[in-house]
Chain A
Amino acid sequence: MTPNERAELYRRMLTIRRAEERLQKLFADGLVPGFLHLSIGQEAVPVGVSRALTEADTVSSNHRGHGHTLAKGVDLTGFFAEILGKATGLCRGRGGSMHVADLSKGMLGANGIVAAGLPITTGSALAHRMQGKGNIAVVYFGDGALAEGLVHECLNIAKLWSLPILFVCENNGWSEFSPTERQLATSLDKLGKAYGITYREVDGNLVEEVARAAGKLVAGMRKAPAPAILECRTTRVRGHFEGDRQDYRDSDEIAALDARDPIRLCAEALIAAGLDDAVLTAIAAEVEAEIEAATETALAAPLPEAGDILADVYTRAEV
């Protein structure tokens, strides 16, 4: 990776971080309707994975999907407007944080149903294989999703049919308010072995590691369609959702999070590799300006009209 490429990964992570911090504030001010699940601490996963993707590749996501969405290249203003429930949002204010999608960018949707992205992405991968253009599909899911039955169904079919799908597990050790070890009697590497699916584990807070591992796996499946699993050990810094005080986590665990911050780790690596601190400062300023502009535009945008409720339930107007 060239220094410029590494700085670009830094910029993308910082964009997600600052966007979510802005959302956090807007939520505290009562401006974000509904639930808000932040992925602060997990930014390296989608940024690293997305480096291997083209716009024609498809991804689907879960309830903690802001990073996945932004990393796939969706418009920042449309993203903010959607989460604020505005008519100008990516989904015209009908989806919100848990359902952001941009089909034109291959982003098939965040999802409010745990593990629902797996079969949808498996189907998308089947479509890619049939279309024969070398495109692939990525599904992001959490460790908690591993307890769902669809994991078995999809790993099984993906392997049987050699589908070009990358299963990206963001293992942050938590499923809502319960630790993974109380949720899962096995582990994803064992599942990978059981199904004969290539499995890689990476430190999900080291963006270059994620990018390298994803790059290899994706390049392989473009050549010869086959599934792969990438398990990323990562950290959920905020509560399950905004408003969760996390009193079920012990203070040592929370105190250790800072040292594993993916953005700090990336910055340190860049400086150690000789990048001028001023470059990072400049990136930060640009990102903040971009977020601010997107937020301002989204805040000023109109809310959807009540008459919009019936639009788009079906493609053709009802008979």
Chain B
Amino acid sequence: MAETRYIKAVNQALKDAMRDDPTVFLIGEDVGAAGGSFKATRDLLDLYGPERVYDAPIAEAAITGIAVGAALTGMKPVAEIMFMDFITLSMDMLVNQAAKARSMFGGQGSVPMVLRTPHGGGLNAGPQHSQCLEAWLAHVPGLKVVVPSNPADAYSLLRAAIDDPDPVIVVENKALYAMKGEMPETPEKIEIGKARIARAGRDATVVAYGAAVGMAEAAAEVMAAEGVEVEVIDLRSVQPWDEACVLESLSRTHNLVVVHEAVEAFGVGAEIAARMADIGFDELDGPIVRVGAPFAPSPFGKTLEEAYRPNADRIVAALRRTLA
């Protein structure tokens, strides 16, 4: 085991994937000479050269479409969209092209592309550089969406995404890029769609992904001090998501809270809550409570952003509500 940072784990995954498969290449704004706006692609241009690492002009729709076309022509592109907010400009290529090619063409082929992009606040980056838009993508049949919550997962989920024959959006979290964590000698092989029990508990289940996992773990600590054992599930992948794992946990704890940094309304949490209210109805001893951002653009200023993002206190309050 060695300690690493989230961003370094992303870099290592890209480096290893490029070493293992000559069809893997990188494309994005400033991913080459500059090593990426957040340094996820540092040194990779030197290592693999300009035929594998493309510094693209500011053209998100084209970057994404180029990834689709290259993927349909035998390559494994890994595109970077600098901030998830800019994915608005990539939407046609993701939604109408990448997502549909396999089904729409009758299974003739697939689109083995990856799109990496960071979401989330905590940097006072303001309303156009902080959004968590993963629910949009999770809503589209044909796309997969993973959201790593720690350095080891950042490595393993990115490797799994690159190995996957279908388009996978890897949503990283800007606030986690500096996070330190253990990186196993032999990285775990993660199957996309399988969740991880981040903390075991018998009294209530908190389902979270990305940065919300850490918040949920902190909330579980608070509750543990009061003798309430909270189970924290790190979804790892929101599309597909591990319904069986959540249901199994709920059938032991009988109380459910779902947390994400994204706006609460119409989010991933709504889907999880709806499914569990259906297939897990008999297991529920309390309401399913969601914790997410309020229905407002993510604000810039420190006090506002702090109040906007979910935190351990709000998760604790949600747990108290469902357990009441």
Contacts and interface: CB of A to CB of B under 8 A. Distances in A.
Contacts of A150: 61-62, 65
A99 to B, nearest CB: 5
B270 interface: no
Contacts of B193: 318-319
A222 B3 CA distance: 49
Contact of A313 (B51, B68, B141): B141
A134 interface: no
A124 B69 contact: yes
Contacts of B104: 91, 94-95, 99, 101, 109
A313 B142 contact: yes
A86 to B, nearest CB: 11
B75 A89 contact: no
9 closest A-B pairs by CB:
A119-B65, A123-B69, A92-B106, A319-B193, A123-B66, A127-B73, A312-B107, A153-B62, A91-B106
A123 B70 contact: yes
A126 B62 CA distance: 12
B108 interface: yes
Interface string B90-132: 0011001100011111111110000000000000000000000
17 contacts: A89-B106, A94-B104, A95-B104, A101-B104, A102-B108, A116-B97, A119-B64, A119-B93, A122-B69, A123-B69, A130-B51, A131-B73, A153-B61, A160-B57, A314-B102, A318-B193, A319-B240
Nearest to A308: B106
A30 interface: no
Interface residues of A, number: 50
A103 B109 contact: yes
A228 B125 CA distance: 41
B72 interface: yes
A61 B92 CA distance: 16
A264 to B, nearest CB: 35
Contacts of A315: 102, 110, 164-166
Interface in A109-167: 109, 111-113, 116, 118-128, 130-131, 137, 149-150, 153-154, 156-157, 160-161
B61 A126 contact: no
Contacts, number: 153
A58 B69 CA distance: 10
Contacts of A46: none
A93 interface: yes
Nearest to A135: B73
Interface string B4-45: 000000000000000000000100000000000000000000
B105 A103 contact: yes
A104 interface: yes
A122 B166 contact: no
Contact of B102 (A116, A153, A312, A319): A312
B54 interface: yes
A94 B72 contact: no
Nearest to A131: B74
Contacts of B67: 123
A95 B25 contact: no
Given A128-B73, A318-B240, A319-B193, A91 B108 contact: yes
Contacts of A314: 102, 142, 144, 166
Contacts of B105: 90-91, 94-95, 99, 101, 103, 109
B103 A94 contact: yes
B56 interface: yes
B21 to A, nearest CB: 13
B191 A319 contact: yes
Contacts of B61: 119, 149-150, 153
B242 interface: yes
A119 B66 contact: yes
A93 B108 CA distance: 12
B196 to A, nearest CB: 13
Contact of B108 (A103, A113, A119, A153): A103
Nearest to B191: A319
A118 B70 contact: no
